[in-house]
A and B are shown apart, each in its own frame.
Chain A
Amino acid sequence: GGHAKRHSHSTMSALLRMAARWYQEGTAKELRKYGLLYQDILNEFHPDVQVALSRLSPEELSNRNKRLKRAADLSVKHSELSPEAQAKIDVWRKYLPLERAQEERLERASYKHIP
Chain B
Amino acid sequence: MLRSTAVTRSLRKQLALAGSRSITSHPNPNIVTGPDQNWYRFHNMWPVQVPLSTPLPGTPAASEGVAAAEPKTEITTLSNGVRVISEGSSSIGASMALYFASGSRVETDATMGSSHFLQHLAFKASKDKSHFKMTRDIEKIGGHAVAGASRDCIAYAGECLSSNADRLMALMAETALNPRLEDLDMDNARALVLNDVANSSKNGPGTVLDAMHTVAYSGRGLGAPLLCPSNVAHSMSGDTISTFLKDTVAPSRVIVSAVGVEHARLVDMASAAFGDMASSNPVAPADAKYTGGEFYLPGPMDMGEVHIGIGMEGLGCSHADLLALATIQTMLGGGDSFSAGGPGKGLKSRIFVNVLYNQGVLSSSALNVSYAETGLFGITATTTPDHTSVTVELLIKELKRLKTGVSEEELKRAVNMTRASLFLNLENNGIVCEDLGRQLMYYGKRHTGKELSDQLKKITAADLQRVSDKLLSSDPVVAAYGDISCMPSYSTIVSAMKA
Interface residues of A (CB under 8 A from B): 55, 57, 97, 100, 103-104, 107-108, 111, 113, 115
Contact = CB atoms under 8 A, between A and B. Distances in A.
A103 to B, nearest CB: 7
Contacts of A97: 183-184
Contacts of A115: 140
Interface in B165-193: 182-184, 187
Interface of B: 130, 132-133, 136, 140, 182-184, 187
A100 B136 contact: no
Nearest to A115: B140
Given A97-B184, A100-B184, A108 B132 contact: yes
Nearest to A57: B183
B130 A103 contact: yes
Given A55-B184, A107-B133, A111-B136, 7 more contacts: A55-B187, A100-B182, A103-B130, A107-B132, A111-B132, A113-B136, A113-B140
Nearest to B185: A100
A57 to B, nearest CB: 8
A114 to B, nearest CB: 8
Nearest to B133: A107
Residue picked from A57, A100, A103, most chain B C-beta under 10 Å: A100
Contacts of B187: 55
B140 A104 contact: no
A51 to B, nearest CB: 10
A108 B182 CA distance: 20
Nearest to A52: B184
A104 B136 contact: no
Contacts of B132: 104, 107-108, 111
Task: Say whether chain B's binding surface is mostly helix, strand, loop, or mixed.
Answer: helix
A111 B184 CA distance: 22
A44 B199 CA distance: 36
A100 B182 CA distance: 10
Contacts of A57: 183
Contacts of A55: 184, 187
Contacts of B130: 103-104, 107
Nearest to A108: B132
19 contacts: A55-B184, A55-B187, A57-B183, A97-B183, A97-B184, A100-B182, A100-B184, A103-B130, A104-B130, A104-B132, A107-B130, A107-B132, A107-B133, A108-B132, A111-B132, A111-B136, A113-B136, A113-B140, A115-B140
Nearest to B140: A115
A63 to B, nearest CB: 16
Closest 9 CB pairs of A and B: A55-B184, A108-B132, A107-B132, A107-B130, A104-B130, A104-B132, A115-B140, A97-B184, A100-B184
A97 B183 CA distance: 10
A97 B132 CA distance: 17
A55 B182 CA distance: 12
A52 B157 CA distance: 33
A100 B132 CA distance: 12
Contacts of A108: 132
Contacts of A103: 130
B9 to A, nearest CB: 59
A96 to B, nearest CB: 12
Nearest to B129: A107
A114 B370 CA distance: 46
A113 B140 CA distance: 8
A55 B133 CA distance: 20
A104 to B, nearest CB: 6
A102 to B, nearest CB: 12
B123 to A, nearest CB: 16
A24 B184 CA distance: 30
A108 B136 CA distance: 10
A109 to B, nearest CB: 11
Contacts of B133: 107
Nearest to B131: A104
A46 B130 CA distance: 21
A57 B182 CA distance: 13
Nearest to A55: B184
A113 B133 CA distance: 11
Contacts of A113: 136, 140
A115 to B, nearest CB: 6
A97 B182 CA distance: 11
A102 B133 CA distance: 15
A57 B183 CA distance: 10
A111 B134 CA distance: 12
Nearest to B141: A115
A88 B348 CA distance: 79
B139 to A, nearest CB: 9
Contacts of B136: 111, 113
B130 to A, nearest CB: 6
Nearest to A97: B184
Nearest to A111: B136
B238 to A, nearest CB: 14
A29 to B, nearest CB: 32
B192 to A, nearest CB: 16
Contacts of A104: 130, 132
Contacts of B140: 113, 115
A61 to B, nearest CB: 13
A115 B182 CA distance: 31
Nearest to B188: A55
A113 B135 CA distance: 12
B184 to A, nearest CB: 6
Contacts of B183: 57, 97
